[in-house]
Structure 1
Amino acid sequence: MRPPFRFPEDLITLQRAWQQTYAELAQAPAGAGTTALRRRLITLSGDLCTHPYWATPAASRDGGVELRRVARTHTSAPAEGEAAA
């Protein structure tokens, strides 16, 4: 059995940003000027694909599905001075 994936916090944050941007783009009405969202999604996609985590021997491209699941359910500790959700 394969051990569970352990993703770095910055990779999870990138995936969460990608998912949020994708959701915003999906909800945008037609003709709403979505260029900025599309460009952000492209940039985030590139950042995700080229993240140093994927170059480590323990990393597996099979982990992409697990990363998306973790990003959906991941809650990080609130920043100092920030209230918990």
Structure 2
Amino acid sequence: MEHADFPRDLIELQADWHRTYAALAVPRPVHTTALRRRLQTLSGQLLFHPYWANPGRPPTARVELRRQARALERRP
């Protein structure tokens, strides 16, 4: 897929979703209720972000968004 131009806030939102999910994935997570609520909030914000309102966004764009968010997390 070609390089998609995502808004910076959308990439950071996806990266925050990854961090929250990772915090829940540990063997004995702390504050599970708060983390689950945070994950639900972030999921809603991702789903209804204005970027997705434009028609013609391919489903593969979400995969590219996740890839770019992970790349953002790896940067120092």
**Could you say whether these structures have the same fold, taking a TM-score greater than 0.5 normalized by the shorter chain as the test?**
yes
Matching residue of 1:44: 42
Aligned length: 75
1:14 maps to a residue whose letter is L
TM-score by length of 2: 0.84
More helix by share: 2
Identity of aligned residues (%): 52
CA distance in 1, matches of 2:42, 2:11: 12
CA distance in 1, matches of 2:23, 2:14: 14
Q: Which runs of 5+ in 1 are unaligned?
A: 76-83
Matching residue of 2:24: 25
Q: Higher RCO, 1 or 2 (CA under 8 Å, sep at least 6)?
A: 2
Check the 8 A contact 1:54/1:61 in 2, yes or no.
no
Indicate the RMSD between aligned Cα atoms, in angstroms: 2.1
TM-score by length of 1: 0.76
The answer on 1:66 being equivalent to 2:60 is no
